[in-house]
Structure 1
Amino acid sequence: MPASFWEHEPVRHALAERHLGRVIRAYRYHPYHGRNPLPQTVVAGWLGITQAQLSRVESGLPLVHLDRLAHWASLLRIPASRLWFALPRKFPVVAERPTITPEEGGATNRRQFHAVAALTGIQATGCLDLLAPPADLPPTVGMEQVRYASSLVDEFRQADAAVGADALCDIAMQVHKRLSAWAAKAAYSRSVGDALQSALADLAIQAAWLAIDADRRTEARPFLNEAIARARIADDSRVEVRAFACMSLLLREKQPGEAVHCAEAALRASAGWATPRLSTLLHLRAAYAHATLRDMHGFEQEMTRARRAFDGGTHEDDLPFISFVTAQEVTGIQGLSYLALDRPDRAAECFRSVTGTPSAAHRRNQVYYTVQLARAASRQGDVGEAARVGIRALPEVGRVRSGRVSGLLAEVRSDIAVAGRSALEVREFVEAYDRALS
């Protein structure tokens, strides 16, 4: 976290009171995380305790056990200078990270960007410096710059597959912000303007997806709202459909009714030109949203349509982002829908099918559905199976660097640690998880 995070009054007050439980509560409710606080279940998973235990920690007496204080302070990356106790040598000392903006520390920020870009393969040395001061950016935009902005979407997608959304989310948002600010001030022709609107919309969608996968969902919606507006300005239905598809993904758990509407809007906008794979994806989005609404008829109807569309095969006009729509993905979404419908037995069957035929090209999805298999087993009450699958997934979860996947595995750890405390397999998983987290 930046240094300004720890200057927030509720956090400073809790630290001054020397009450780590209140520090954790202030941490969860910090505006840095968006309008919604971090759920207790998520933070409890990080700390290796249950939601009920965290609730008692936040509202009860101050903790005094040094090992637990040090362990939790280390997990939350609280700077040592802010703590009222000394960290034992076995715990890493976290220094404060300064807040750097392009205006205040452009050179440092650019070096950081180029370091990450080199790691991930992004062509940061293209036709403009993405983090240059505003005065250094060209006063006009041509098709060369538009093509470069468009190419960044593919490069972020490839980098995401290599290093995960957690490493890329902030940098994609920063690049989008800088390009948007530049485009708002620069001059360009009508034809360039339409292409530029489409390119910036595509980049906004990519930033939104990275935010979703990094488990920073509250930050994703403004990007998607912007993408839809830009796509309509450019009269680009393909980008608009992609934005609606991503919006349906974002909303499907907490606002499933709106997620259905987004999927239906995408289906209407793509009528007449959608390829079979795109139609499959949109029907899958609608199917999962119906399942979350406990609408079994709507779910079955949309799943039937998705499988029928999938039988149409691939097409030369398939959009680049659609490559993940495979037979495994169709079955995986069916499994997620069964979980939403409280059918963990049927969900587990689907996830076993997906993980039994791994795809090297879509490693993150394989890890995601492996963790979902552990969740389904836990929901069935089979904590031994959940622990075995969790141990199998643990090394890969550390490699894909997806906050969404990490959060789900934390949920599994929290659930089975309580339900199967005495089982050897559960203890082995919990210990392995805690070691990896530390």
Structure 2
Amino acid sequence: MALPQTVVAGWLGITQAQLSRVENGPPLVHLDRLAHWATLLRIPAPCLWFRLPDQQSWPVASHVNRRAEGAHGGDRVVERGEQAVVAANVEQASSQGGGTTDRRRFTVLAALAGLAASGHTYLLPGSSAEVPGNIGMEQVRLASSLVDDLRRADAAAGADLLCDVAMHAHSRLSAWAARSSYGREVGDALQSALADLAIEAAWLAIDADRRSEARPYLHEAITRARIADDPQVEVRAHTHLSLLIRESQPGESLHCAEAALRVSAGWATPRLTTLLHLRRAHAYAVLRDASGFSREMTKARRELERGTHEDDQSFVHFVNAQELEGIEGLSYLALGRPERAVQSLRAITANPSPGHRRNQVYYTVRLSEAAYQQGDINEAARVALDVLPAVREINSKRVSQHLAQVRGSLAAPQRATRASRQFVDAYDQAALA
């Protein structure tokens, strides 16, 4: 769900009408306002296309690389520090000195400005605020509200732009929990809130295709949830862990979903149970167990037919008929049955879910992949070309990597067609990889 314009406008000290003009009107040219936001968010000067008031020289545009090649050719994590905020920076200006504000990066700027405007600058990268001696329920409520803010910003801007911000906030609040004093009630609530924040950081890492960074957060979340005796948070962690390891460890993925079913027995809502059966169905498909897949899909359909519930947790909001079709399609791909995958995935594009755009784009990309595996090169290219602009907008490395794989397949000269060459040329011009 996108952030309401009235809320964002209040954060930035402008009216809703002014914000609407920023988002939908001509390029943003009020440099004094941009300079104020950049200073507030401690964005390094070299990452801005305009000069700050106290800056003597023009900045040199640069990009932040999340990873660098190690001494032996492997990847190493680059120290982030203040550079984490660069992920939420405005678009670089053109060589002629002009430029427009990227709408989704603007949303992230607004979300971060909201933290600063609320007096929570200690959560922003680069902050040197000291760890408080005592923690009360106010800090716990902050951690909980931060998860909601990150989920809304993720829906609007994509995980690529938020992953480092979430990890930094988690690190800062974890330091509070480790070094500050608090009572039992606050301690249990803080453990649950930090577990939820760790799950959100893990999800953002998954969608940003930084999967190796996600698992420690989920293991931590399970531990914190058990310390706080919070089964709902524990189930969320197991559910995400099942997703994370499905391709690499499908057997363990099955056990994670089973553990979540066991812990949630007696209180799980139909949509939560649907999601857990879908996790198991897909894991069975990766294991090439067609009967196990079919059994779990039947259970998932039965639960989904029971409808929504007032106790549904926010993280299952995406579980609907389209998601069921999507998991079925991906499972048929894993089972080596692309023709059935095309049927399921095409049903999603024919009946889209407006509130879940990223999933819609993701499954459309996978439809292109399924069509290619079926041997329909022209259909694969047509679908990929149609979805290309949307993939560029949602800032999900997980999605863009799948489209990159489609591009690699369609670029093979022995299977080239006019449609495939058209898509490959458009993809390369977009420099999406």
**TM-score calculated relative to the size of structure 1:** 0.76
Quote how far apart the aligned CAs of 1:236 are. Answer: 0.3
Q: Which residue of 2 aligns with 1:303?
A: 297
Q: CA offsets per residue over residues 102-129 of structure 1, 9 Å max, x none?
A: 6xx99x8899799875334673133532
Q: Which residue of 2 aligns with 1:142?
A: 136
Residues 5 and 350 (structure 1 numbering): CA distance in 2 closer, same or farther, change over 3 Å?
Answer: closer
The equivalences for 1:394-409 within 5 A come to: 394-409=388-403
Residue 9 (structure 1) aligned with residue 71 (structure 2): yes
Over the aligned positions, Cα root-mean-square deviation in angstroms equals: 2.5
Q: Distance in 2 between matches of 1:181 and 1:110?
A: 23
SS across alignment from 2:77: helix
Residues 271 and 394 (structure 1 numbering): CA distance in 2 closer, same or farther, change over 3 Å?
Answer: same
Q: Distance in 1 between matches of 2:166 and 2:233?
A: 18
Quote how far apart the aligned CAs of 1:30 are. Answer: 1.9
Letter in 1 for 2:295: Q
Q: Which residue of 2 aligns with 1:130?
A: 123
Quote how far apart the aligned CAs of 1:436 are. Answer: 0.6
Residues 30 and 301 (structure 1 numbering): CA distance in 2 closer, same or farther, change over 3 Å?
Answer: same
Q: Which residue of 2 aligns with 1:234?
A: 228
Letter in 2 for 1:393: V
Quote how far apart the aligned CAs of 1:183 are. Answer: 1.5
Contact 1:276 1:309 in 2 (8 A): yes
Residues 279 and 195 (structure 1 numbering): CA distance in 2 closer, same or farther, change over 3 Å?
Answer: same
Percentage of identical aligned residues: 57
Q: 120-129 vs 365-374, which deviates more?
A: 120-129
Q: Which residue of 1 aligns with 2:58?
A: none
Q: Which residue of 2 aligns with 1:118?
A: 109
Letter in 1 for 2:123: L
The equivalences for 1:198-347 within 5 A come to: 198-347=192-341
SS across alignment from 1:220: helix
Residues 242 and 327 (structure 1 numbering): CA distance in 2 closer, same or farther, change over 3 Å?
Answer: same
SS across alignment from 1:136: coil
Contact 1:205 1:246 in 2 (8 A): yes
Q: Distance in 1 between matches of 2:350 and 2:112?
A: 31
Contact 1:251 1:258 in 2 (8 A): yes
Q: Distance in 1 between matches of 2:234 and 2:66?
A: 37
Contact 1:153 1:203 in 2 (8 A): yes
SS across alignment from 1:31: strand
Quote how far apart the aligned CAs of 1:141 are. Answer: 0.8
Q: CA offsets per residue over residues 145-188 of structure 1, 9 Å max, x none?
A: 10111011111111001010000111111111111112110111
Q: Which residue of 1 aligns with 2:75?
A: 30
Contact 2:215 2:241 in 1 (8 A): yes
Residues 434 and 152 (structure 1 numbering): CA distance in 2 closer, same or farther, change over 3 Å?
Answer: same
Q: Distance in 1 between matches of 2:75 and 2:69?
A: 11
SS across alignment from 2:355: helix
Contact 1:383 1:419 in 2 (8 A): no
Quote how far apart the aligned CAs of 1:374 are. Answer: 0.2
SS across alignment from 1:170: helix
Residue 355 (structure 1) aligned with residue 346 (structure 2): no
Contact 2:368 2:381 in 1 (8 A): yes
SS across alignment from 1:324: coil
Q: Which residue of 1 aligns with 2:423?
A: 429
The equivalences for 1:183-194 within 5 A come to: 183-194=177-188
Quote how far apart the aligned CAs of 1:422 are. Answer: 3.4
SS across alignment from 2:300: helix
Letter in 2 for 1:32: V
Q: Which residue of 1 aligns with 2:158?
A: 164
Residues 149 and 3 (structure 1 numbering): CA distance in 2 closer, same or farther, change over 3 Å?
Answer: closer
Quote how far apart the aligned CAs of 1:321 are. Answer: 1.1
Quote how far apart the aligned CAs of 1:32 are. Answer: 2.8
* Number of residue pairs matched by the alignment: 353
**TM-score calculated relative to the size of structure 2:** 0.77
Greater helix proportion: 1
Letter in 2 for 1:30: D
Q: Distance in 1 between matches of 2:128 and 2:209?
A: 31
Quote how far apart the aligned CAs of 1:134 are. Answer: 5.8
Contact 2:339 2:370 in 1 (8 A): yes
Contact 1:198 1:230 in 2 (8 A): yes
Residue number among 143, 147, 151 corresponding to 1:153 in the alignment: 147
Q: Distance in 1 between matches of 2:424 and 2:400?
A: 14
